[in-house]
Amino acid sequence: MTRARLLRILHYAGLYLFWPAVALVIWGELRKGGDMFDVPDKVEHFVAYGGLAGMAVLAVGERKHAMRIAAALIVMGAVLEIVQAIVGRDASYWDEVANTAGALCGAFTASWLMILLKPLQSRGGPGETGNG
């Protein structure tokens, strides 16, 4: 499988999975009850927002939007923490810190992955055809 094909597969995976993942995160943050998984709460927040940011950056397909995407997800997380307080859940500053760290790491990782998988010709590699 070529790098360009793998990048295209990741693009479409992000494109089709992002909105269902957003819905799952919103549901998970606002539902009554304990943690969804048997891992620390902050790990759930970090992984969820990192995954959302990574999928969004890959779906958009342009690294220049990565920080805007991360910022939008950070705002979404802050709004959800405020709504949690309104609906009777425990809002936490530290949850938002984990959301922020996850969104930034996810956006950075997806951007880095796009650089690695971009065909050599479009990166300016000498004499490369970009087919491999």
pTM of the shown model = 0.85
φ/ψ of residue 101, rounded to 5? -60, -40
What pLDDT, in 10s, does the model give residues 12-24?
A: 999 999 999 999 9
Quote the CA–CA distance of 127 and 124 in Å, as a whole number: 9
- Structure confidence by residue, pLDDT tens digits, 23-72: 999 999 998 876 677 788 899 999 999 999 999 999 999 899 999 999 99
- The CA-CA-CA angle for residues 73, 6, 69, to 5°, reads 15
**pLDDT exceeds cutoff 90 at 130:** no
Is the pLDDT reported for residue 113 higher than 50? yes
- In 31-92, which ranges are continuous DSSP H helix? 41-60, 66-86
